Chain A
Amino acid sequence: MKKIIEKAKFADFVGTLLSDYEVFAPVKNENGLVLFSRISSPEEIFLDFRNSKKPPKEFLFPQVETLFEYEPGKVKVPSVEAIAQRRLFLCVRPCDVKSFLILDEVFDTEEFQDVYYVTRRRNTTILAMGCVDPPSTCFCTTFDEMGPFSREGADAFLVDIGDRFLIETLTERGESLPLESLPDASDEDVQTAEDVEKKAVEKVDRKLELSKLGEKLDGMFESPFWDALHEKCLTCGVCTYLCPTCHCFDISDEALDSKGRRVRNWDSCMFPLFTLQASGHNPRPTSKERMRQRIMHKFNYFYKNYGVYACVGCGRCVENCPVNLDIRKVLEGILSL
């Protein structure tokens, strides 16, 4: 169904959400960064943003997570209830919503189910919001059925049509949102929303043609392309820590005498310890192997294993790389070989 939320009444709408869900929405913090965080009142929401600095992935796959605590002879797993509250992600961009589907491929396999991720995922309703004015760093339209208004993976979808939002429910979870009191969307509203959508899709013109990518990558493991590419890379963790589809993690124990816990932290293929073995051997010692691994993983290996690229074209790595190593230019370089 399609309904209308007047912007003036958006705060009330969020108020009703807050009574049923834990709501996570974009917030501008004191240091001026737009991050998704849990809100306690509608006023905290900040909507004049292109996309958040850190992806909302951090609320399904947190940067730090206790797997279990232990005492001598006893292992205590955090109760599932602790992470099973009803939650709602508000105003998530379509690329980030798609990243959840990509993370599902890794964490929600039937052989080994990551209970921490899956519990949160299954209790989260996703209220996405289309990108009316996508920036030049975005290239989401490169990926099939992806774009500033793609609805895949969302329970409901918001379109900003000037002084109001058009909200469209896409799943029954979306239907269960408190929309009864809202007026239905008029044909005119629907038409305006479609125009906004069309304009936005055209704006994302950096569209790469990836059909040949897999076969090119297969043949180029020893290519000198990687020698030229990696030189300026600093092997810091910015591109991986701000990426919505990066899923690598480290497991380590934190202990004090006989008590402690096992913690899962984000990890990065760029870090020295990622593949360093106790013998001192490291199959990926320098930025060359690591940059090659990052590109191969996202655009070759992940595709081979799961049939989808591990990239949604959100542009965060493009914007934040300290040396402006632009992944779009990398892909264009590979495709032109």
Chain B
Amino acid sequence: MAENFEPKIVAFLCNWCSYAAADLAGTSRIQYPPNVRIVRVPCSGRVNPIFVIKAFQSGVDGVLVAGCHPGDCHYQNGNYFARRRFALLKRLLEYIGFDNERLHLAWVSAAEGGKFADVIREVVESVRKLGPIEKLVKRDEVLKDGS
């Protein structure tokens, strides 16, 4: 089952670096899996951990949070705050037994179109191995969407 399972990935990309990297990957015709749905945020520091948890609850199989390399942040320290926030969130989710490889974190600068594609490929493959999400996802026959 795992081979033809197409995971749904949500990626929170910071506008100045990782979103720009996604653009660059596109303009450079670099291929990467289409599973990712991109949410553009001003900065990785804008990503509230509840966004990530809410995504998992809605049935998203994997989440990527990407920002500028430390020191490159357009707002100086947004990514430093994100670094602390997601260090704690990742360990807390792991602690409660949630399969932690569903949450991926990456620094991708605006010039790293190639790295962006690699990161997406890596995220999709690692989540594909885990199969559809079971923990924290709302199982609700009425509210189950079509797929």
Does a CB–CB distance below 8 Å link A and B in the complex?
A: yes
Please list the residues of chain A having a beta carbon within 8 angstroms of any beta carbon in chain B.
Answer: 66, 69, 254-257, 259-261
5 A-B pairs with C-beta separation under 8 A: A69-B142, A254-B143, A255-B143, A259-B142, A261-B142
Could you tell me the distance between the alpha carbons of A255 and B143 in the complex, rounded to whole angstroms?
7
Residues in A neighbouring B3, C-beta threshold 8 A: none
Interface residues on B, range: under 10
Chain A binding surface SS class: strand
Name the interface residues of B93-147: CB closer than 8 Å to any CB of A: 140, 142-145
Residues in B neighbouring A69, C-beta threshold 8 A: 142
Q: Which residue of B lies closest to A255 (CB)?
A: B143
Could you tell me the distance between the alpha carbons of A44 and B69 in the complex, rounded to whole angstroms?
59
Could you tell me the distance between the alpha carbons of A104 and B144 in the complex, rounded to whole angstroms?
36
Please list the residues of chain B having a beta carbon within 8 angstroms of any beta carbon in chain A.
Answer: 140, 142-145
Q: Which residue of A lies closest to B59 (CB)?
A: A256
Q: Which residue of B lies closest to A66 (CB)?
A: B142
Chain B binding surface SS class: loop
Could you tell me the distance between the alpha carbons of A86 and B142 in the complex, rounded to whole angstroms?
26
Residues in A neighbouring B142, C-beta threshold 8 A: 66, 69, 259-261
Residues in B neighbouring A254, C-beta threshold 8 A: 143
12 additional contacts, CB 8 Å, given A69-B142, A261-B142? A66-B142, A254-B143, A255-B143, A256-B140, A256-B143, A256-B144, A256-B145, A257-B145, A259-B142, A259-B143, A260-B142, A261-B143
Could you tell me the distance between the alpha carbons of A242 and B133 in the complex, rounded to whole angstroms?
35
Residues in B neighbouring A256, C-beta threshold 8 A: 140, 143-145
Could you tell me the distance between the alpha carbons of A259 and B144 in the complex, rounded to whole angstroms?
9
Closest chain-B Cβ to A259's Cβ sits at a distance in Å of 7
Closest chain-A Cβ to B137's Cβ sits at a distance in Å of 13
Closest chain-A Cβ to B145's Cβ sits at a distance in Å of 6
Closest chain-B Cβ to A67's Cβ sits at a distance in Å of 12
Closest chain-A Cβ to B6's Cβ sits at a distance in Å of 20
Residues in A neighbouring B143, C-beta threshold 8 A: 254-256, 259-261
Q: Which residue of A lies closest to B146 (CB)?
A: A257
Closest chain-A Cβ to B58's Cβ sits at a distance in Å of 8
Residues in B neighbouring A259, C-beta threshold 8 A: 142-143
Could you tell me the distance between the alpha carbons of A257 and B142 in the complex, rounded to whole angstroms?
11
Q: Which residue of B lies closest to A260 (CB)?
A: B143
Q: Which residue of B lies closest to A257 (CB)?
A: B145
Could you tell me the distance between the alpha carbons of A255 and B140 in the complex, rounded to whole angstroms?
11
Q: Which residue of A lies closest to B145 (CB)?
A: A256
Could you tell me the distance between the alpha carbons of A66 and B143 in the complex, rounded to whole angstroms?
12
Chain A CB within 10 Å — which of B140, B142, B143, B144 has the most? B142
Closest chain-B Cβ to A195's Cβ sits at a distance in Å of 54
Q: Which residue of B lies closest to A261 (CB)?
A: B142
Could you tell me the distance between the alpha carbons of A257 and B140 in the complex, rounded to whole angstroms?
14
Closest chain-B Cβ to A261's Cβ sits at a distance in Å of 5
Closest chain-A Cβ to B82's Cβ sits at a distance in Å of 29
Could you tell me the distance between the alpha carbons of A261 and B140 in the complex, rounded to whole angstroms?
11
Could you tell me the distance between the alpha carbons of A254 and B143 in the complex, rounded to whole angstroms?
8
